[in-house]
Protein backbone atom coordinates (compact mmCIF):
# COMPACT_ATOMS: atom_id res chain seq x y z
CA UNK A 1 0.00 0.00 0.00
CA UNK A 2 1.29 3.43 -0.90
CA UNK A 3 1.39 6.39 1.40
CA UNK A 4 3.70 8.69 3.28
CA UNK A 5 5.81 7.44 6.13
CA UNK A 6 7.63 9.28 8.90
CA UNK A 7 10.53 10.22 6.65
CA UNK A 8 8.41 11.36 3.69
CA UNK A 9 8.79 14.78 2.16
CA UNK A 10 6.05 17.18 3.20
CA UNK A 11 4.09 19.60 1.06
CA UNK A 12 4.70 23.29 0.47
CA UNK A 13 2.30 24.47 3.18
CA UNK A 14 3.71 26.90 5.74
CA UNK A 15 3.01 24.49 8.62
CA UNK A 16 4.88 21.70 6.86
CA UNK A 17 7.86 23.96 6.25
CA UNK A 18 7.98 24.98 9.91
CA UNK A 19 7.75 21.32 10.93
CA UNK A 20 10.64 20.35 8.66
CA UNK A 21 12.82 23.13 10.10
CA UNK A 22 11.93 22.03 13.64
CA UNK A 23 12.91 18.42 12.93
CA UNK A 24 16.18 19.60 11.39
CA UNK A 25 16.94 21.67 14.50
CA UNK A 26 16.34 18.66 16.73
CA UNK A 27 18.56 16.46 14.57
CA UNK A 28 21.36 19.05 14.59
CA UNK A 29 21.32 19.40 18.38
CA UNK A 30 23.67 17.40 20.54
CA UNK A 31 20.79 15.97 22.57
CA UNK A 32 19.47 12.50 21.86
CA UNK A 33 15.88 12.98 20.75
CA UNK A 34 12.94 11.22 19.21
CA UNK A 35 10.57 13.25 17.04
CA UNK A 36 6.93 12.16 16.88
CA UNK A 37 4.74 13.69 14.19
CA UNK A 38 1.10 13.28 15.17
CA UNK A 39 -1.74 13.17 12.66
CA UNK A 40 -4.93 15.13 13.41
CA UNK A 41 -5.79 14.55 17.06
CA UNK A 42 -9.37 13.82 18.08
CA UNK A 43 -11.05 12.52 21.21
CA UNK A 44 -13.25 13.76 24.04
CA UNK A 45 -13.44 17.54 23.74
CA UNK A 46 -12.02 17.40 20.21
CA UNK A 47 -15.18 16.72 18.24
CA UNK A 48 -15.07 19.38 15.52
CA UNK A 49 -15.71 16.83 12.77
CA UNK A 50 -18.77 15.46 14.56
CA UNK A 51 -20.10 19.01 14.87
CA UNK A 52 -19.57 19.51 11.13
CA UNK A 53 -21.64 16.38 10.47
CA UNK A 54 -24.40 17.66 12.75
CA UNK A 55 -24.34 20.97 10.85
CA UNK A 56 -24.74 19.05 7.56
CA UNK A 57 -21.49 20.44 6.15
CA UNK A 58 -19.93 18.59 3.21
CA UNK A 59 -16.79 16.55 3.73
CA UNK A 60 -13.62 16.91 1.74
CA UNK A 61 -12.43 14.46 -0.91
CA UNK A 62 -8.83 14.53 0.34
CA UNK A 63 -7.34 11.73 2.39
CA UNK A 64 -7.02 12.62 6.05
CA UNK A 65 -5.14 10.96 8.87
CA UNK A 66 -6.01 11.01 12.51
CA UNK A 67 -5.13 9.61 15.92
CA UNK A 68 -7.18 9.41 19.11
CA UNK A 69 -5.83 11.48 21.99
CA UNK A 70 -5.52 8.32 24.16
CA UNK A 71 -3.30 6.77 21.50
CA UNK A 72 -1.17 9.95 21.49
CA UNK A 73 -0.43 9.36 25.16
CA UNK A 74 0.04 5.64 24.52
CA UNK A 75 2.53 6.28 21.72
CA UNK A 76 4.63 8.58 23.89
CA UNK A 77 4.58 6.10 26.78
CA UNK A 78 5.54 3.27 24.43
CA UNK A 79 8.41 5.17 22.81
CA UNK A 80 9.80 6.25 26.19
CA UNK A 81 10.07 2.59 27.15
CA UNK A 82 11.97 1.51 24.02
CA UNK A 83 15.63 0.75 24.54
CA UNK A 84 16.66 2.02 21.10
CA UNK A 85 13.94 4.07 19.47
CA UNK A 86 14.36 5.39 15.96
CA UNK A 87 14.80 9.16 15.62
CA UNK A 88 11.45 9.80 13.90
CA UNK A 89 7.94 8.31 14.07
CA UNK A 90 4.66 9.14 12.39
CA UNK A 91 1.78 8.66 14.83
CA UNK A 92 -1.42 8.09 12.86
CA UNK A 93 -4.03 5.37 13.15
CA UNK A 94 -4.05 2.45 10.75
CA UNK A 95 -6.75 3.68 8.38
CA UNK A 96 -6.24 6.86 6.40
CA UNK A 97 -9.59 7.77 4.88
CA UNK A 98 -11.20 10.46 2.81
CA UNK A 99 -12.83 13.03 5.06
CA UNK A 100 -16.16 12.58 3.27
CA UNK A 101 -16.08 8.83 4.05
CA UNK A 102 -15.41 9.47 7.74
CA UNK A 103 -18.20 12.04 7.88
CA UNK A 104 -20.60 9.71 6.06
CA UNK A 105 -19.84 6.94 8.57
CA UNK A 106 -20.46 9.37 11.44
CA UNK A 107 -23.74 10.58 9.96
CA UNK A 108 -24.97 7.00 9.72
CA UNK A 109 -24.09 6.36 13.39
CA UNK A 110 -25.78 9.59 14.45
CA UNK A 111 -28.92 8.83 12.44
CA UNK A 112 -28.38 11.87 10.24
CA UNK A 113 -28.52 12.22 6.47
CA UNK A 114 -25.22 11.67 4.71
CA UNK A 115 -23.32 14.91 4.11
CA UNK A 116 -23.68 16.41 0.66
CA UNK A 117 -21.10 15.58 -1.99
CA UNK A 118 -17.44 16.09 -1.30
CA UNK A 119 -15.62 19.12 -2.60
CA UNK A 120 -13.68 17.56 -5.48
CA UNK A 121 -11.36 20.57 -5.55
CA UNK A 122 -9.37 19.23 -2.62
CA UNK A 123 -9.06 15.63 -3.85
CA UNK A 124 -5.38 16.10 -4.69
CA UNK A 125 -4.59 17.36 -1.17
CA UNK A 126 -3.73 15.12 1.73
CA UNK A 127 -1.68 11.96 1.99
CA UNK A 128 -2.35 8.46 3.23
CA UNK A 129 0.15 8.27 6.05
CA UNK A 130 1.69 4.94 7.06
CA UNK A 131 2.33 4.08 10.68
CA UNK A 132 4.45 1.01 9.81
CA UNK A 133 7.51 2.24 11.72
CA UNK A 134 5.45 2.78 14.88
CA UNK A 135 3.66 -0.57 14.58
CA UNK A 136 6.97 -2.35 13.91
CA UNK A 137 8.25 -0.91 17.20
CA UNK A 138 5.54 -2.90 18.98
CA UNK A 139 2.89 -0.24 19.56
CA UNK A 140 -0.69 -1.56 19.62
CA UNK A 141 -3.44 0.98 19.05
CA UNK A 142 -6.32 1.29 21.47
CA UNK A 143 -8.25 2.85 18.57
CA UNK A 144 -6.77 1.40 15.35
CA UNK A 145 -9.13 3.38 13.11
CA UNK A 146 -11.63 6.23 13.20
CA UNK A 147 -14.41 3.66 13.59
CA UNK A 148 -13.30 2.54 17.04
CA UNK A 149 -12.31 6.00 18.22
CA UNK A 150 -15.23 8.04 16.95
CA UNK A 151 -17.52 5.08 17.68
CA UNK A 152 -16.64 5.34 21.38
CA UNK A 153 -17.13 9.12 21.35
CA UNK A 154 -20.51 8.88 19.61
CA UNK A 155 -21.65 6.11 21.98
CA UNK A 156 -20.73 8.31 24.97
CA UNK A 157 -22.59 11.26 23.43
CA UNK A 158 -25.71 9.12 22.92
CA UNK A 159 -25.54 7.82 26.51
CA UNK A 160 -25.28 11.37 27.87
CA UNK A 161 -28.18 12.57 25.70
CA UNK A 162 -30.40 9.56 26.53
Neighbours of 82 (CB within 10 A): 13
- Prediction pTM value: 0.80
Find out whether 45 and 157 touch, Cβ atoms under 8 Å: no
Find out whether 34 and 87 touch, Cβ atoms under 8 Å: yes
Find out whether 145 and 84 touch, Cβ atoms under 8 Å: no
- Mean pLDDT within 15-35: 68
pLDDT in tens, 36-79: 999 999 999 999 999 999 999 998 888 999 999 999 999 999 99
Round the average pLDDT of the chain to a whole number and report it.
86
The pLDDT-based confidence of 94 (bands split at 50, 70, 90) is very high
Neighbours of 29 (CB within 10 A): 9
| Class of the CATH domain delimited by 14-161 | alpha beta
Q: Where are the beta strands (DSSP E) in the chain?
A: 35-38, 40-42, 63-64, 66-68, 88-91, 97-98
Neighbours of 132 (CB within 10 A): 14
Which are the contacts of 70, defined by CB distance < 8 A and separation ≥ 6? 43, 142, 143
Question: Is the pLDDT reported for residue 32 higher than 80?
Answer: no
Neighbours of 4 (CB within 10 A): 19
Amino acid sequence: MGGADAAATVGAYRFAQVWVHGVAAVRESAAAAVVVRFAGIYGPGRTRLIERVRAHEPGGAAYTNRIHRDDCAGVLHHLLRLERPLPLYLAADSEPAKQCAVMGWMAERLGLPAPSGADAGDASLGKRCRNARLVASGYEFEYPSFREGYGAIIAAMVRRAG
